[in-house]
Amino acid sequence: MMDAHVPPSSHTLLELCTNLLQTPLKSNNARFTAQLVHCRVIKSSLFFSVYLINNLMNAYSKTGNALHARKLFDEMPLRTAFSWNTVLSAYAKRGDMSSAREFFDQMPKKDSVSWTTMIVGFKKIGLYRKAVRTMGEMMMKEEGGVAPTQYTLTNVLASVAATGCVETGRKVHTFVLKLGLSSNVSVSNSLLSMYAKCGDAKMARVVFDRMVVRDISSLNAVIALHMQVGEIDLATAQFERMAEKDIVTWNSMIAGYNQRGYDLRALDTFSKMLRESSSLLSPDRFTLSSVLSACANLERLSFGKQIHSHIVATGFDISGIVLNAMISMYSRCGGVDTARRLVEQRGHADLKIEGLTALLDGYIKLGDMNQAKVIFDSLKDRDVVAWTAMIVGYEQHGLYGEAISLFRSMVGEEGGQRPNGYTLAAMLSVASSLASLSHGEQIHGSAVKSGEVYSVSVSNALITMYSKAGCIASARRAFELIRCERDTVSWTSMIIALGQHGHAEEALELFETMLTERLRPDHITYVGVFSACTHAGLVDEGRRYFDMMKNVDKIEPTLSHYACMVDLFGRAGLLQEAHEFIEKMPVEADVVTWGSLLSACRVHKNVDLGKVAAERLLRIEPENSGAYSALANLYSACGKWDESAKIRKSMKDGRVKKEQGFSWIEVKHKVHVFGVEDGVHPQKKEIYVTMKKIWDEIKKMGYVPDTASVLHDLEEEVKEQILRHHSEKLAIAFGLISTPDKATLRIMKNLRVCNDCHTAIKFISKLVGREIIVRDATRFHHFKNGFCSCRDYW
């Protein structure tokens, strides 16, 4: 008609507007048609038709064109309530609530549609509390006392659910009852969903039980409720009873299983959905993201690839949450290269931080920290999860300096992020690995400031950090702070700490207390228990707990447990029993197990069995320098110098390098490392002079240097000098000249402390009146007033 230059009538234009409303929203054709109709309205001077202009404004509103809707409104000679509400809706639809509020305040009269439009607009942009407050304003007498409709209430209840404030939800529920809308199925479903999402399962059930009419949405909400509170069987039963299931039903089950850790059930339910549902019911983006998440959790790469193929075959758009879930699945299942190709193909525009963080995590798991750093550096808007993933990666791969540097960037101006519990736990693990008390205390301070100190994971990490830094009292305090929420890790960490610090009896008492709390130990707990028994020579207790582990807790012993038992028997001098125990083991003994027996043979001077242990150990690890050294020391201790020399020659001929011993001490946030006969430290002269003075003083007190342990044909004076310059003694001398009087010295050593150093440090602690804490390869030694916490049993 328009092409034939026939003037359109208002009826024709109205029909065009009506057709426009039936086109897909925000499509290019719909916008073009609206603009075409608008041009005809202007040319034909049809502004007199309020009904026509209202419909045209509505068309602009529904296609998201608030500017044109407002222009039409401003040109209208006469405006109805519909005119005002249409423009208001246009602003709200595009999320421009500032303009919407300004326009709303100009409205001569506000009806339920006006108020509800504002509520929906605030909800859309995430201002949930403002949406709820707007309903309060709506019902105030000074605002005209407009009663909310069922549509108002469903949107307000959805906003309450998003805030999680059940008290506000109860107030809205009261309004529902006063308005007589409790029997409305949409309102009841919204109430049910609100209570479920706010964690009030009891009230959610009350609402459901009182519903006169229930539809599929009601049943879906109940399934979601059961899943949320962990009632998996009830959710499954409700699902099986439903004759009709929509996509929300299936999604509630699949997502619920996935979120609750029942990932196999999630995959089975997805397969069942594809088999049983009609061709009209296809998986949506929520279904696919949940299924891909289940594949990632199970590390089922093959199933994940099948899902990917299904998505491609059905022409489903790989974008948004589906793309992110797919990248996460490939990254976590070892398909990092595929994940990277997806990123390269799609670009970063459609990727959420979660997807890229999953890719980052994938490279970290592969040990490719360089590529992980490239991904991390490419992230524009790094959230706390991305920062934490990178920090954890550095920590797991022993890159402690990089972890500390990145943490400082994260909380500084560059990152401006507040660390969460996972970040702080990772940083405390870094401090533990470095045995750095100063770094650990700084992270503890950050945890206190952020409130994360009450997190169980952070508290557990604090126990370990303080324990490894030699502060058993601080570790105890951290344990006591989590009195009400202790988990197995909490108890285990404290048991291990007490055992390593020489408090074996207290460790076993704590273990018994743990059992009375009805918390069952795991395999790591028992490693801590056996270790405590070992350090105190509690053989009978060790046997009893080993039987308890197998017969009561039904835990199959691992090589770690067997090695602990061999160490327990060996230290107690029960060498034959230790050997028989190894021979009866259902698994092949490893290096640690044979090493424990060899070490015991050296202490108790059993050459024959020591030789057997060394031979078996060297079969597994031919270049193990510790085995050669232990056997050579055993021969020397028994006066078999020729045999010892042969062992050392074989080491030299076989180019087996002896592991070098070194010790370190942290002073004023700086770590100072010392080797034997260390000549590198800038204060070496002062250190040697101090050590010589101490040496002469403790000899006067009765200390006799163990020169027999120096396995070289040298003069006694030279042997004494070698002993005097052992790394831990040099670290102690430096600590004495670098710290305040009476300050505790904390020395770390990579090898077992030798007999001579152990004896000398007891004398030094008495001489200087300080506590000296030494952590060697096996335990902590607390030297004080001439005594050691190990009671000379180590």
- The tens digit of pLDDT for each residue in 241-259 reads 998 999 999 999 999 999 9
> pLDDT at position 118, please?
96
pLDDT band at residue 2 under the 50/70/90 scheme: very low
Give the 3-state DSSP-derived string for 308-359, with helices as H, strands as E and coil as C.
Answer: HHHHHHCCCCCCHHHHHHHHHHHHHCCCHHHHHHHHHHHCCCCCCHHHHHHH
Largest CA distance in the chain: 123
68 has a pLDDT exceeding 90:
no
**Could you read off the pLDDT of 393-431 as tens digits, one per residue?**
999 999 999 999 999 999 887 768 889 999 999 999 999
* Greater pLDDT, 214 or 677: 214
pLDDT band at residue 435 under the 50/70/90 scheme: confident
Mean pLDDT of 593-619: 92
What are 746's strand-pairing partners? 773
**Could you read off the pLDDT of 285-323 as tens digits, one per residue?**
999 999 999 999 999 999 999 999 989 988 888 888 898
Token match 């030299």: residue?
652
> pLDDT at position 482, please?
85
> pLDDT at position 454, please?
85
In a domain, 71, yes or no: yes
Q: Looking at 85, 109, 133, which one is the last position of a domain?
A: 109
> pLDDT at position 279, please?
64
Distance CA(153)–CA(532), nearest Å, equals: 62
Of the chain, the percentage scoring pLDDT greater than 90 comes to 59
Mean of pLDDT over the chain:
88
Distance CA(355)–CA(368), nearest Å, equals: 18
> Contact, 267 vs 259, CB < 8 A?
no
**Sheet hosting strand 745-749, strand order edge to edge:** 670-675, 662-667, 745-749, 772-775, 780-784, 787-788
Phi/psi of residue 522, nearest 5 degrees: -110, -175
113 has a pLDDT exceeding 60:
yes
> pLDDT at position 550, please?
95
> pLDDT at position 52, please?
67
Query: Per the structure block, which two tokens stand in for 794?
Result: 């180590």
- Of 48-52, 290-294, 561-565, 716-720, the range with the lowest mean pLDDT is 48-52
* Greater pLDDT, 34 or 241: 241
Query: Per the structure block, which two tokens stand in for 578?
Result: 């230790």
Distance CA(71)–CA(53), nearest Å, equals: 11
> pLDDT at position 667, please?
92
- Count the domains in the chain: 2
In a domain, 53, yes or no: yes
154 has a pLDDT exceeding 80:
yes
270 has a pLDDT exceeding 70:
yes
Mean pLDDT of 741-769: 94
Token match 């259902």: residue?
586
437 has a pLDDT exceeding 60:
yes
This prediction's pTM:
0.69
> pLDDT at position 1, please?
44
> Contact, 46 vs 13, CB < 8 A?
yes
**Could you read off the pLDDT of 157-180 as tens digits, one per residue?**
999 999 999 999 999 999 999 989
> pLDDT at position 315, please?
86
Q: Looking at 60, 79, 109, which one is the last position of a domain?
A: 109
> Contact, 732 vs 761, CB < 8 A?
yes
Closest CA to 603 of 576, 625, 634: 634
In a domain, 78, yes or no: yes
Distance CA(717)–CA(707), nearest Å, equals: 9
pLDDT band at residue 644 under the 50/70/90 scheme: confident
5 has a pLDDT exceeding 70:
no
- The upper half-sphere exposure of residue 31, i.e. CA atoms within 13 Å in the direction of its Cβ, equals 9
In a domain, 693, yes or no: yes
> pLDDT at position 475, please?
96
- The C-alpha angle 632, 637, 642, rounded to 5 degrees, equals 55
Q: Looking at 109, 127, 159, which one is the last position of a domain?
A: 109
> pLDDT at position 39, please?
59
- Of 142-156, 250-264, 651-665, 763-777, the range with the lowest mean pLDDT is 651-665
In a domain, 414, yes or no: no
Closest CA to 529 of 574, 487, 494, 566: 494
Mean pLDDT of 475-480: 94
In a domain, 737, yes or no: yes
**Could you read off the pLDDT of 16-33 as tens digits, one per residue?**
655 554 455 445 555 555
Which residue range forms the structural domain that includes residue 708?
663-788
Mean pLDDT of 445-474: 92
* Greater pLDDT, 154 or 331: 154
In a domain, 81, yes or no: yes
**Could you read off the pLDDT of 86-104 as tens digits, one per residue?**
999 989 988 899 999 999 9
Mean pLDDT of 750-763: 93
Mean pLDDT of 589-609: 92
In a domain, 70, yes or no: yes
Closest CA to 499 of 485, 510, 483, 512: 510
Mean pLDDT of 198-220: 90
* 126: region left, alpha or beta (phi > 0 left; psi from -120 to 50 alpha): left
